[in-house]
């Protein structure tokens, strides 16, 4: 279970790094595709670099975040194969990792950063958003989250099956 939690934490860190790289460094409106309409409307198309190499640093951070998000299930799979996991063991591991990341997304990104302007995150990089952030935004994407949770269970099952095939 420790490996499962560590891999889930790695995915959560990768997701946060992705948000930080897109919002704080790359600063392109395309990274706000999943944000509420009010926030998307308040954000400019792009912003000039605050320092030389800012956008490049952001793209490097984004690449590292993708590696973290991919590495976590690979590490979980390798450990499970080494320890003789069965299908349900793999399914539970991958599903727990996914649900940890989704809970982090809902609680930290949506509730703390978006709805409570926690840490002044979005307004720090985009002062234009301060007026539109608030509690009224919570749950704006509940259908998307529900679809992700259901889809995550399906992906967890497929990954478990693939791991069994690899284990032979």
- pLDDT at residue 1 greater than cutoff 70: yes
Query: What is the per-residue pLDDT for 141?
Result: 75
For 46-57, b where at least 16 C-beta lie within 10 A, e where not — what string?
eeeeeeeeebeb
- pLDDT at residue 117 greater than cutoff 70: no
Query: What is the per-residue pLDDT for 118?
Result: 62
Pick from 94, 93, 140: nearest CA to 115 = 140
- Please state the separation of Cα 119 from the chain's center in Å: 18
Reported residue count of the chain is 168
pLDDT grade for 33, boundaries at 50, 70 and 90: confident
Q: CA 65, CA 74: separation in Å to the nearest integer?
A: 14
Of the ranges 108-112, 132-136, 142-146, which one carries the lowest mean pLDDT score?
A: 132-136
How confident is the model over 135-143, as a mean pLDDT? Answer: 75
The count of domains in the chain is 1
Query: What is the per-residue pLDDT for 143?
Result: 87
How confident is the model over 31-41, as a mean pLDDT? Answer: 79
- pLDDT at residue 101 greater than cutoff 80: yes
Structural domain boundaries enclosing 112: 2-167
Q: CA 145, CA 113: separation in Å to the nearest integer?
A: 17
pLDDT grade for 130, boundaries at 50, 70 and 90: confident
Q: pTM for this structure?
A: 0.88
How confident is the model over 86-99, as a mean pLDDT? Answer: 97
């Amino acid at each position: 279970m420790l490996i499962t939690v560590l891999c889930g934490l790695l995915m959560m860190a990768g997701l946060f790094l992705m948000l930080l790289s897109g919002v704080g460094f790359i600063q392109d409106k395309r990274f706000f595709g999943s944000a509420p309409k009010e926030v998307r409307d308040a954000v400019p198309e792009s912003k000039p670099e605050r320092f030389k190499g800012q956008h490049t640093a952001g793209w490097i951070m984004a690449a590292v975040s993708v590696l973290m998000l991919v590495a976590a299930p690979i590490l979980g799979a390798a450990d499970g194969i080494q320890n003789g996991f069965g299908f349900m063991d793999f399914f539970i591991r991958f599903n727990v990792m996914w649900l940890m990341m989704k809970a982090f997304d809902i609680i930290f990104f949506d509730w703390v950063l978006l709805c409570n302007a926690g840490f002044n995150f979005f307004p720090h990089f985009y002062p234009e958003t301060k007026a539109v952030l608030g509690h009224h935004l919570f749950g704006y994407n509940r259908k998307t989250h529900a679809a992700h949770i259901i889809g995550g269970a399906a992906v967890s099952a497929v990954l478990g099956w693939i791991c069994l095939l690899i284990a032979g």
